[in-house]
Structure 1
């Protein structure tokens, strides 16, 4: 699995504390070794958008065009009341997913769920 980063995410990563960088590095290592099997956090396509949301169809088209997903990274911590593989956390990593490629593009708080902008994908 080839993993790359947008310029936007590189800036975010460089400003994170070492403990949070370590969690992201562990995610990257896991995906390179095991792909999507046995991840601790919830991992899902980012198309679960409220139909009442402004620009709903544009958001769905954007998600599908760039195959956007997000992963609950465990920052600050996981909600351990949920089962392994479906644990949520305050922050998610946003990434573009292709069969053998992943490009991490953003990290944001969730809730509220916000998609990265097209500019942040590069």
Structure 2
């Protein structure tokens, strides 16, 4: 099922500072979402509620991720680590997005990973 894609204003501004390769990598992800949804993606795609058990603010961050429907996807920048099966490949960068119903993805941030950092509240606007 195709996914409707939209962007926070913060994400649009962030895209202006990205390299051509990063824009292409994110664009490839957007193209896949629009064509076939969340199926058959090469990278790891998961809710952002997997906060480390050692994090001092773990419960607050999990609640923040739940309240804002935050997910993240490993887009493959600079390359995918393909040691795990297709669909679970990881990379040094992730796209953070809001996923309410698996029918839409609202892109809110792009960042290096690890460590996992949830997008700040101002990126959700």
Q: Does 1:42 align with 2:12?
A: no
Deviations 1:18-72 (A, max 9, x none): 2211111111111111111000100011111112212211111111001100000
**Equivalent residue, structure 1, for 2:28:** 26
Query: What RMSD in Å do the two structures reach over aligned CA positions?
Result: 1.1
Matched residues in 1 for 2:63 and 2:82: separation? Answer: 33
SS of the residue 1:94 aligns to: strand
TM-score by length of 1: 0.94
Corresponding residue number in structure 2 for 1:105: 108
Count of residues in correspondence between the two structures: 122
TM-score, scaled relative to structure 2: 0.92
Distance of 2:64 and 2:56 partners within structure 1: 14
Residue deviations 1:61-113 (CA, integer Å, cap 9, x gap): 11100110000000111112222111000000000002222111001111111
1:1-122 pair list within 5 angstroms: 1-99=3-101, 100-122=103-125
Structure 1: unaligned runs, 5 residues or longer: none
- Off by >4 Å, runs of 4+ in structure 1: none
In 1, distance between residues paired with 2:25 and 2:113? 17
CA–CA distance in structure 2, aligned partners of residues 80 and 49 of structure 1: 23
